Amino acid sequence: MNELDIYARQGFAGRAGMGQAPALLVVDFVAGFADPAHFGGGNILAAIDATVPLLAHARARGWPVAHTRVVYADDGSDAGVFTLKAPSLLKLTEANPLSQIVPALAPRDGELVVRKQGASAFFGTALAAWLAFRRVDTVVVAGCTTSGCVRASVVDAMQHNLRCIVATDCVGDRALAPHEANLFDMGQKYADLMTAAEVMHAST
C-alpha cells in the first residue's frame, strides 16, 4: 500500500473548493528570500515569477490582497525563540533592503502589508480581522518558504475556518525535498492544491 492509499483509506484529501470571496496572501516574497546568499535558493525565484500573473489576476478581480514581511526591531527587542533557531532573521529590520518586498510584487495602495516576527501570517497580527471585515471565505496562498511560513499560515488560515488554496507553482523553498513533502501534507489535510493557472481559471 503506498502513501496515497493510506491517506485515502483514512479519509484525507477532501476538497474544500473555492468559495465566493477569495483573497490573495503573498507570504514573505522579500529581497532576502529571493537571494540565495541570504535566505533564498531552491525554487523561490521561479515561484516569485509565477506569482506575478496571479497577483495581476487578483487585482483585476478586486480581491483583497495581503503581503507579509518578517520585520524585527532594530535592537532585537521583539525577538523570540524563532530567532534562537535562526538568529540571522534579526537582520530583517524595517529599513533593511533584505526585508523589502520584491519590486515585481510591490504592494499597491489598499493592500495590507503584515509585519510579523513568527512563521504564521496570522499569529500576533491583524490579518484575520482584516480578512473577516472584507468577508473573505477563501485564502489563496503564494510565498515562501513552503515548509515554513507558508505552511504555518495555511494551517492558521484553516483554523480560522477559511478555505485555503495553495498555488503550487507560486510557493517555493530553499530546498526541494521539504517543498514537495509539505505540499503533499498540506494537500492531504489543510488546503486544496492548484496551479496559478487553475486558480485563475476557477475564478474568472
The count of domains in the chain is 1
Which helix (H) or strand (E) segment holds residue 194: the answer is strand 192-194
Measuring CA to CA, which residue among 196, 200, 27 is closest to residue 102? Answer: 27
CA 105 to the chain's CA centroid: 13
The CATH number assigned to the domain holding 89 equals 3.40.50.850
Active site residue 149: yes
Range of the domain at 112: 3-11+19-202
Name the catalytic one among 144, 149, 164, 170: 149
pLDDT at 1: 62
8 A C-beta contact, residue 150 and residue 143: yes
8 A C-beta contact, residue 123 and residue 156: yes
Going residue by residue through the chain, which has 204 residues, state the pLDDT in tens, using 9 for 90 and above: 677 788 888 878 889 889 999 999 999 999 999 999 999 999 999 999 999 999 999 999 999 999 999 999 999 999 999 999 999 999 999 999 999 999 999 999 999 999 999 999 999 999 999 999 999 999 999 999 999 999 999 999 999 999 999 999 999 999 999 999 999 999 999 999 999 999 999 987
∠ at Cα 15 (68, 199), nearest 5°? 50
Measuring CA to CA, which residue among 143, 152, 79, 147 is closest to residue 105? Answer: 143
